[in-house]
A and B are shown apart, each in its own frame.
Chain A
């Protein structure tokens, strides 16, 4: 069964450092997302990406964050200058686009990348 894969599974970084989290979405999906979950809290939407541009972003997704699809397979989340409060699990997800033949409205999530900022 196709799956979304994320790397690294865990990254420890110092405050102020740049971090890039990588995701390989399911190959025929056209919508890509990042969500995060701070320990013990809700899963929160960060950003959606379609047709090589951001479709929607939340208030959390400020200028410190950026997303990119550098090639045909990877989807990345960059945090420019990490803060302590960026410590969280970051989940990548992908889906078909609305009305695409196989679209069921389902988002497929990866296992997550745990970011620890010291």
Chain B
């Protein structure tokens, strides 16, 4: 079974530019999460999709961030325009959870974003 994949693995852009990150979850996983980790800090929740619907986007920093999951398969996270504080590692995770407590999340390798 293929794991969660993310593209690109690294991205270096200048302040003001646009970057789009992509996540392909494990096939059949309805739940897709985006997280961000800044060096030495916690893994911070950004948003949660169930299939193509945004279930919770309370962690999105501001309107410069736009996430989509068309068709309920892969997801994209666009940052436009990027700011210095957007630098960090962006993780995507997926799970099969539909109800109840069990929630094993499978993380992708992450995209390291550096904004100069």
Q: Do A and B come from one complex?
A: no
Q: Which residues of A contact B (CB under 8 A)?
A: none
Chain B residues proximal to chain A, CB less than 8 Å: none
